[in-house]
Structure 1
Amino acid sequence: MNPYQSLPPRSFWRSAVAEPDPADIGGLWTPKFAVGQDDTVLTAGSCFARHIGRALLERGMNWRDAEPAPPGLSEEERRARHYGVFSFRTGNIYTAATLRQWLSWAHGETTPPDEVWAEGGRWYDPFRPSVDPAGHPSADAVRAARGTTLAALRGAVAEADCFIFTLGLTEAWLDRENGTVQPVCPGTVRGTFDAGRYAFHNFTFAEVHRDLSHAIELARAANPGLRVLLTVSPVPLTATATGGHALTATTYSKSVLRAVAGQLAQDHEYVDYFPAYEIVTGFPFRAGFFEPNLRTVTPDGVAFVMRQFFDALARVPAEQPRPAAVPAQPTTGEDFWCDDAVLDYYHQG
Structure 2
Amino acid sequence: MQFHTELSPESLPHRLSLKSRIVTVGSCFADVIGQRLSDHKLNVLNNPFGTIFNPVSVAKLLTMSLYGTAPDENRYVERDGIWFHYDFHSSLWAPSRDDLRDLLLKRLAETADAIRKADFLFLTLGSAVVYRHIETGKVVANCHKMPGSLFEKYLYQYEYLLDDLKRLVKTLHKANPKLKLLLTVSPVRHTRDTLPLNSVSKSTLRVLAHELTVWNDWVSYFPAYELMIDDLRDYRFYEADLIHPNAQAHDYIFEKFADSAFDAELRGFVTEWATLSKSMAHRPLYGETSPAHRQFLTRLATQLEQLAKRVDVTAELTEVRDRLKFQEQDESKTKVLA
TM-score range normalised by the length of the shorter chain: 0.7 to 0.9
Deviations 1:146-166 (A, max 9, x none): 111111111111110000011
Cα gap change, 1:20/1:266 in structure 2, threshold over 3 Å: closer, same or farther? farther
Paired residues, what number? 272
1:203 is the counterpart of 2:161: no
Cα gap change, 1:281/1:213 in structure 2, threshold over 3 Å: closer, same or farther? same
More displaced, 262-271 or 120-129? 120-129
Q: Distance in 1 between matches of 2:206 and 2:8?
A: 19
Q: Distance in 2 between matches of 1:305 and 1:321?
A: 15
Q: Distance in 2 between matches of 1:310 and 1:51?
A: 14
Q: Paired residue for 2:307?
A: none
Cα gap change, 1:130/1:284 in structure 2, threshold over 3 Å: closer, same or farther? closer
Q: Distance in 1 between matches of 2:98 and 2:232?
A: 52
Which one-letter code corresponds to 2:125 in the other structure? L
Name the Cα RMSD after superposition: 2.5
1:62 is the counterpart of 2:10: no
Cα displacement (A) at 1:49: 1.5
1:269 aligned residue (210, 217, 222): 217
Q: Distance in 2 between matches of 1:284 and 1:321?
A: 23
Q: Distance in 2 between matches of 1:286 and 1:121?
A: 43
Q: Distance in 2 between matches of 1:26 and 1:282?
A: 8
Q: Distance in 1 between matches of 2:155 and 2:227?
A: 25
Normalised by the length of structure 2, the TM-score is: 0.73
Deviations 1:30-67 (A, max 9, x none): 2121111101011111012211111112223222x3xx
Cα displacement (A) at 1:123: 2.4
Unmatched runs of 5 consecutive residues or more in structure 2: 275-338
Q: Paired residue for 2:145?
A: 190
Deviations 1:169-214 (A, max 9, x none): 0011223554532013x3xx3334454xx43331232222222222
Cα displacement (A) at 1:232: 0.6
* DSSP 3-state at the match of 1:199: strand
Cα displacement (A) at 1:216: 1.9
Cα gap change, 1:214/1:130 in structure 2, threshold over 3 Å: closer, same or farther? same
Greater C-alpha Rg = 2
Which one-letter code corresponds to 1:304 in the other structure? Y
8 Å CA contact retained: 1:233, 1:277: yes
Map 1:244-323 onto structure 2 (within 5 A): 246-282=194-230, 285-314=233-262, 316=263, 319-322=265-268, 323=270
Higher helix content, 1 or 2:
2
8 Å CA contact retained: 1:307, 1:326: no
Q: Paired residue for 1:212?
A: 165
* DSSP 3-state at the match of 1:215: helix
* DSSP 3-state at the match of 1:128: coil
1:324 aligned residue (271, 274, 286): 271
8 Å CA contact retained: 2:51, 2:89: no
* DSSP 3-state at the match of 1:304: helix
Cα gap change, 1:110/1:31 in structure 2, threshold over 3 Å: closer, same or farther? same
2:22 aligned residue (19, 41, 44): 41
* DSSP 3-state at the match of 2:13: coil
Unmatched runs of 5 consecutive residues or more in structure 1: 1-18, 66-85, 241-245, 328-349
Cα displacement (A) at 1:233: 0.6
Q: Distance in 2 between matches of 1:229 and 1:166?
A: 8
8 Å CA contact retained: 2:12, 2:260: yes
8 Å CA contact retained: 1:29, 1:275: no
Q: Paired residue for 1:120?
A: 80
Q: Paired residue for 1:101?
A: 60
Cα displacement (A) at 1:280: 0.8
What is the aligned-residue identity percentage?
Answer: 25
Q: Paired residue for 1:78?
A: none
